[in-house]
Amino acid sequence: MAQQLVDAGAPGVIVRVDDGHGRPVEIAEQAPWAAKDQRLKVGDEFRMGSNTKTMMATIVLQLVAEGRLALTDPVEKWLPGQVPNGRAITLRMLLNHTSGLFDYTEDPALVPSILGKDPHRWTSSELLAVGVTHPPLFAPGTQWSYSNTDYAAVGAVLERVTGTSLADLIRDRIARPLGLKHTYLATDGSWHGAYARGYEPDSAHMPAGVPAAFQDVSGVDRDGHVNVSGNDPSWGGAAGAVVSTAQDWSRFYTALMSGRLLPAAQLAELRSTVPMDPGNPVNGPGSGLGIETGTTPCGTIWAHDGGITGYSSVNLTDSTGSRTATVLVSTEFLFEFGADAKLVAADQALQTATICAMFGKAAPAAPAAQATTQAH
């Protein structure tokens, strides 16, 4: 099915499935034109977008376990004057997207960075400032709405409390202890090891379904596409700038869900969820702290997905971390804006098959709705 996604228009696809029994299944497929730039391998580094949030939430919970933070802390305590109504917004609300803060990536000020046209290196505080210039979407704690601004605030809090950069926190608290040699927070457009090239269609081939403001992406031209892998992703910050590999993320999820990274009390907090779908609050997907859960035809998953220019990803696990799976696709805008129905359908079919393979089951014959997050 990975090849079917390539046939539908994906430049490249990496799939890794570990059902907890025997050797993991690893697949890498790519379009012939993309192979002119690089032969894609399953161990290539990949921009993980919003999967970053799971690592940031983990670090917050580690600090909670150490008594340096509390989930009930108001944002105002750590970022005085930086967030309107900050006394009513708690760290928990940031982590599970119930703060009501506007998503900074929806602000036109970020478009040049998203397109690779602005070399500005955004700080957590700057990204937070962009988000809070907009009115809140709702009163804190009353609803759920995915917001990257929540994690810009989390990043600013982590930097304030620890006096350490986010990149160093990822390195020292997650990557080094777990031996993740290809996992780091990107602070510029460079890579540490062999990496997957990411692409978007060039302006002549960008579908009409992609908004006009996102039609012209900067990068290196390649066969009707633009290679964006040299662009600076640091505008993702605490919300989306981590680079990793399928194998590294599997190791992270196993350590996280098995309790190696967090004490039992904090792991329970991570898994404490709020409804994401107001129309289905009981059986619909739930948002935990930096991770989401949902039911699928083959089992209950814990997961997150990510999208950052040129790169789409979804990482999945079971409740124990003994089963893990990853699907990486080296393009993003066509998914983000739903601009290519054939590509989106092929991706959903691959995700369904991957989830079922993770549980050691056959995928259902009919397409199934995905339980993973729709927001990047």
Q: Measure CA 187 to chain center.
A: 16
Q: List b or e across 286-322, with b for residues whose CB sees 16 or more CB atoms inside 10 angstroms.
A: bbbbbbbbbebbbbebbbbbbbbbbbbbbbbbbeebe
Instruction: Report d(CA 287, CA 50) in Å as an integer.
Output: 14
Type of residue at 57: A
Tokens read off for 372:
């993973």
Type of residue at 305: D
The reply to whether 145 belongs to the active site is no
- The single residue listed with the structure tokens 């967090």 is 262
Give the angle 63-272-74 at the CA atoms, nearest 5°. Answer: 50
Helix (H) or strand (E) holding 185, with range, is: strand 184-185
Alpha helices, DSSP H, located in 97-229: 111-114, 124-131, 148-162, 166-170, 176-178
SS3 135: coil
Q: Which of 141, 143, 106 is nearest to 127 (CA)?
A: 106
Q: Measure CA 205 to chain center.
A: 26
Instruction: Report d(CA 90, CA 98) in Å as an integer.
Output: 9
Residue length, the chain?
376
Instruction: Report d(CA 287, CA 92) in Å as an integer.
Output: 11
Alpha helices, DSSP H, located in 35-175: 52-65, 75-78, 91-95, 111-114, 124-131, 148-162, 166-170
Q: Measure CA 198 to chain center.
A: 15
SS3 40: coil
List the catalytic residues.
50
